[in-house]
Chain A
Amino acid sequence: MKPIPLLKTAVLAAALALSGGMTLAGTYNVSVDRIRIDAGEFKKTGIGYNGSQSPTVLRFKEGEQVTINVKNNLRESTSIHWHGLIVPFRQDGVPGISFNGIKPGTTFTYQFPIKQAGTYWFHSHTGFQEPDGAFGAIVIEPKGGETVRVQRDYVVQLTDKHPHNGSRVFRNLKMSADYYNRAQRTLEDLVRDSREDGFKQALQNRAMWGKMRMMPTDIEDVQGFAPLINGMGTQQNWTGIFKPSEKVRLRLINSSAMTYFDVRIPGLKMTVVQADGNDVKPVAVDELRISVAETYDVILQPREAKAYGIIAESMGRTAMVRGSLSPTQGYAGLVPRMRPQPLLTMADMGGMMDGMDMGGMDMGGMDHSAMTMSSQSSTMPEDMDHSKMDMSGDMEGMDHSKMDMSGDTKAVDHSKMDISGDTKAVDHSKMDMSGDTKAVDHSKMDMSGSAKAVDHSKMDMSRSMKGMDHSKMDMSGGMAGMNHSARDSKIGEFYAPGSGLIPSAANGGKFLSYNDLKAARPLYRDRPATRTIELRLTGNMERYIWSINGVKMDDAAPIRLKYGERVRFKFINETMMSHPMHLHGMWSILDTGKGKWDPIKHTVSIAPGTTVYTETEVDATGQWAFHCHLSYHAEAGMFRKVIVEGGPA
């Protein structure tokens, strides 16, 4: 008799325990409002959540069942998409794909379980409301509490507030794609280039770009914005308070419409512990690039009782914002001078030139195919034989110091890379890291440990390249299989070799690379993908048309996936711009060659001239959006609907 009630109790207890997470339930209210925005440099009307330009932060707990009432106080429809959250597709908040949107004056109630932890964000997926200000942050506490104990925990949400509203920006871009590019090459640049390279060379470079009708300065489509941290500009100086030696967690979120930021805190190392909401093996860096829609959590430990600046420079160096970490309010970190503007090189044109007649260029029969390095060790491979490199044609005595890889890149100097023939262990510190951005220096090419496959096949050598000297090139470290021949090497690099976008830390230190990201805990068992879907990122810069595989959203059939399969996406960036690609509803496992330790992301930036692979376990049925997260690229057509067929409804 007795065992039965006991069993009953046990069953009841077990049921309670099982539903334990779900008994935690929270209700949240968010209003969508027309607001007045003070961006420091200008004031404008925009859209904000809960009537404020400082982003609303929603704090959830893993395992919680949330109910979010979204009241639309606008005179137009709206929507909220929970960026990076794994939710049932009807809760994903994309009008026309997951639901019908939220009509003016109505309240829509989202309800979903929180099945993850970390830093995320939310934003409107309707029209240009997100560029107009409709975004906020999400912080989810893990079930067992934060794994990294810190004394201070701050959201640092970046944005690029533009004086023009989104629809006007878009219309202007369509009218004239360079409408907002105020960093174009001018007569002044031509004069300077002529002085440095000679008039003929400068003109030739100009002509090369002119032939393509491209600009080496097309890094940021939309300039003229005010970058903000948590809704505040440099003067308004968002400040996070700390006491010396306290550990501080910053949850960096890039909510920009169009702007990649390079973030650093001079005087402090940032230890990256999370990327896109997923914990990664801690990696200490001096600076990192945060693509649009990405998040990075970093831990800092300021020891001195002084104000440290949180510096975010736009990737194209057209704007900068400074916030502060300070022992008290009112102290501001320094505002450094913005670094010089980078220029795209022919390497960034890699994909575009395939189909173009580059008549003026003489490649002189260059064949790197025999150049292979297989050694994982930190010594120069014994069997590396440069003599197999066929350098016939115009290559006269290979000397990298004369190599000109671009229209506007000045003096690519490899000769400073120090290595003598019989050096076994090469010290990277001998590399010249001069701050001169004009000199494209291969030392900035990260060829050390993590570089898995350097693909030189896309390297473009303009006619001026008379010779190459690889003998002086330092190829040390554990370069696992440097492959100069395979165009579609398995992993590829995250920047095209010789790209003008390759970042370097302001203090010469460590700059975070995707290669540094290693999942702290694998979310999925590693298994081979069932198939590969090729997505060429395409566009017409002059007409401001952006597309995938040459087709805009309006004309494209949806991508169909099968529940339970694992697909491999092959992104080939054929444009000259970086595209942060975001898949809704499911994770994107970024292939960095680490197998089950590959980082798990929701947004993956694809740099120009590169091929990047991600894999997705198709574990969410329904209809999902898949798009470039640059607002105006998505609107112009770089967008796909994904339909997952089968699986539980």
Chain B
Amino acid sequence: MKMIYLPAVAATLASIIGAPAAAEPIIWGFQAEQLEYRFMDGEDAFVWDFDALAGSDELRFVWRSEGEIGESSGDFEGLENQLRLQMPISTFFDSVVGIQASTPDGAPDRYNAVFGVKGLAPQWFEIDADLYVSDHPFFRFEAEYEALLTNRLILTPSIEMNMPLKDDAARNQAAGGPTFEIGARISYDLIDRAVSPYIGVNYERAFGGTSDMLRAAGEDKDAFSIVVGTRIMF
């Protein structure tokens, strides 16, 4: 099955890489929305969330990585890597297909196919909506808004929701029991838009069955943190 698509992907790749000299240059870049230290009640943590991308207007390859390392334990509380292909489907939105590997310490690994959309909604909301498909499917919705206090001082509220679609007891996730993460970060564009240090707050909370499972496992259903970090784009 998969083999059928490989020639198509290869052809697309060739058309991008083997483009004539006069063609548009290949675009590449790195964008970390979060690269931060979280001060929490329990263990402090180091957290990142970045995209590394390369491609053209028509097709972009994206390596998305999200992770959380406990400060004292050094364990990966969360570790997620995705390889995504992004293709425009409208003026402001891309479709996304990819694969995701979630491999934190102390929990079974999970692998998913990813289908989603990513883009800019009216009123400048940056939206990511992805369906993760496997034996343990879930839906994730992320939205972010950049409010310009000045042309360099930017307040970025964000919200992320993870909604398990099936129970995954080994990971304390119950179908229909969402986890929310809301944050607000104030950044300052120090060097162009390449380096923008920020401070902010972040709050995570589980609801429904997921919350019950966390309580049963002796873990907190919510966590509040003060964050210090920097956005990076180059």
Contact = CB atoms under 8 A, between A and B. Distances in A.
B149 A175 contact: no
Given A183-B151, A213-B92, A171 B27 contact: yes
A552 B88 CA distance: 15
Contact of A213 (B23, B24, B28, B120): B120
B43 interface: no
Contacts of A174: 27, 29, 57
Contact of A635 (B24, B88, B152, B233): B24
A647 interface: no
Q: Do most interface residues of chain A lie in helix, strand or loop, or is the interface mixed?
A: mixed
A210 B124 contact: yes
B102 interface: no
Interface in B112-138: 120, 122-124
A96 B21 contact: yes
Given A184-B151, A210-B122, A213-B122, A175 B29 contact: yes
B150 A186 contact: yes
Given A186-B148, A543-B57, A179 B193 contact: yes
B233 A176 contact: yes
A13 to B, nearest CB: 50
Nearest to A182: B151
Contacts of B193: 172, 176, 179
Nearest to B193: A179
Identify the interface centre among B23, B28, B57: most chain A CB within 10 Å of its CB.
Answer: B57
B120 A184 contact: no
A425 B10 CA distance: 73
A121 B121 CA distance: 44
A127 to B, nearest CB: 8
B149 A636 contact: no
Given A176-B193, A542-B92, A636 B24 contact: yes
A158 interface: no
Contacts of A213: 92, 120, 122, 124
Nearest to B194: A172
Contacts of B72: none
A187 B152 CA distance: 12
A548 B28 CA distance: 25
Interface in B49-72: 57
Given A176-B193, A179-B193, A637-B24, A184 B148 contact: yes
Contacts of A211: 122-123
A186 B27 contact: no
B147 interface: yes
Interface in A468-498: none
Nearest to A211: B122
A411 B233 CA distance: 39
Interface string A624-649: 00000000000111000000000000
Interface string A37-62: 00000000000000000000000000
Interface of B: 19-25, 27-29, 31, 57, 88, 91-92, 120, 122-124, 147-152, 192-193, 233
22 contacts: A96-B21, A171-B28, A172-B192, A174-B57, A175-B27, A175-B29, A175-B31, A176-B193, A184-B148, A186-B151, A187-B149, A188-B149, A188-B150, A210-B122, A211-B123, A212-B122, A213-B120, A213-B122, A552-B24, A553-B24, A554-B19, A554-B23
Interface of A: 95-96, 167, 170-172, 174-176, 179, 182-188, 207, 210-213, 224, 540, 542-543, 545, 552-554, 635-637
Given A174-B29, A540-B91, A542-B120, 13 more contacts: A96-B20, A170-B25, A171-B28, A175-B31, A179-B192, A182-B151, A184-B148, A184-B151, A186-B151, A187-B147, A188-B150, A211-B122, A554-B19
Ranked nearest first, the 8 interchain pairs of A and B with the lowest CB-CB distance are: A210-B123, A96-B22, A186-B148, A174-B27, A175-B29, A182-B151, A211-B122, A187-B149
